[in-house]
Amino acid sequence: MQTFSNKIAIAIVIPFIYNIPVHRRKDFMKLSFRWYGLTDSIPLTYIRQIPNMYSVVTSVYDKKPGEVWDKESLLALKEASEKHGLKMEVIESIPVSEDIKMASPKRDEHIDAFRKNLALCGEVGVKCVCYNFMPVFDWLRTNMHHKNKDYSESLSYSADDFAKVDPHNLHLPGWDESYSPDELQSLLKIYQGISHEEYFNNLVYFLKAIQDVLDQYDINMAIHPDDPPWDIFSLPRIVSNEKDLDKMFEAVPNKHNGLTLCTGSFGASKKNDVPHMAMKYAKEGRIYFAHLRNVLYTDDKDSFVEVGHYSGSGSLDMYKIVENLVNNGFDGYVRPDHGRNIFGESDKPGYGLYDRALGCAYINGLFEAAEKNRK
Smallest distance from ligand DNO to CB 349, Å = 10
DSSP 97: P
Task: Give the contacts of 176 (CB within 8 A, at least 6 positions apart).
Answer: none
Smaller CB separation from ligand DNO, 130 or 210:
130
- Build a one-symbol-per-residue string for 193-232: x at contacts with ligand DNO by CB under 6 A, - elsewhere: -------------------------------x--------
CA dist 26 and 88 (Å) reads 17
Question: Is there binding between residue 93 and ligand DNO (CB under 6 A)?
Answer: yes
Decide: 21 and 30 in contact? Cβ < 8 Å: no
- HSE value, Cβ hemisphere, 13 Å, CA-based, for 195: 3
Question: Is there binding between residue 132 and ligand DNO (CB under 6 A)?
Answer: yes
DSSP 37: G
Smallest distance from ligand DNO to CB 154, Å = 12
Question: Is there binding between residue 138 and ligand DNO (CB under 6 A)?
Answer: yes
Q: Which of 69, 137, 139, 157 binds ligand DNO (CB under 6 A)?
A: 139
Smaller CB separation from ligand DNO, 305 or 370:
305
Exposed/middle/buried for 149, CB within 10 Å: 0-12, 13-18, 19+? exposed
Smallest distance from ligand DNO to CB 221, Å = 11
SS3 content of the chain, % helix, strand, coil (to 5): 40, 15, 40
CA dist 205 and 201 (Å) reads 6
Smaller CB separation from ligand DNO, 140 or 282:
140
Pairing of strands 30-34, 53-58: parallel
Of 105-113, 132-140, 178-186, 309-317, the window that binds ligand DNO (rule: CB under 6 A) is: 132-140
Q: Which of 114, 131, 200, 330 binds ligand DNO (CB under 6 A)?
A: 131
Alpha-carbon separation of residue 111 from 20, 136, 259 (angstroms) = 36, 18, 20
Which sign, positive or negative, has the C-alpha torsion 167, 169, 173, 177? positive
Smallest distance from ligand DNO to CB 225, Å = 8
What residues does 47 pair with on adjacent strands? none
CA dist 58 and 36 (Å) reads 6
Of 131-139, 189-197, 210-218, 316-324, the window that binds ligand DNO (rule: CB under 6 A) is: 131-139
Of 71-79, 124-132, 168-176, 189-197, the window that binds ligand DNO (rule: CB under 6 A) is: 124-132
Of 45-53, 67-75, 127-135, 231-239, the window that binds ligand DNO (rule: CB under 6 A) is: 127-135
Of 18-26, 120-128, 130-138, 296-304, the window that binds ligand DNO (rule: CB under 6 A) is: 130-138
Smaller CB separation from ligand DNO, 86 or 96:
96
Decide: 127 and 32 in contact? Cβ < 8 Å: no
Question: Is there binding between residue 130 and ligand DNO (CB under 6 A)?
Answer: yes
Smallest distance from ligand DNO to CB 141, Å = 10
Smallest distance from ligand DNO to CB 223, Å = 8
Of 113-121, 125-133, 249-257, 364-372, the window that binds ligand DNO (rule: CB under 6 A) is: 125-133
Give the three-state DSSP class for 260: strand
Pairing of strands 257-262, 287-292: parallel
DSSP 38: G
DSSP 349: T
Q: How many CB atoms lie within 10 A of CB 166?
A: 7
Smallest distance from ligand DNO to CB 13, Å = 39
Of 12-20, 128-136, 178-186, 359-367, the window that binds ligand DNO (rule: CB under 6 A) is: 128-136
The DSSP H or E segment spanning 257 is strand 257-262
- Residues of this chain that bind ligand DNO (CB under 6 A): 92-93, 130-132, 138-139, 224, 291, 338, 350
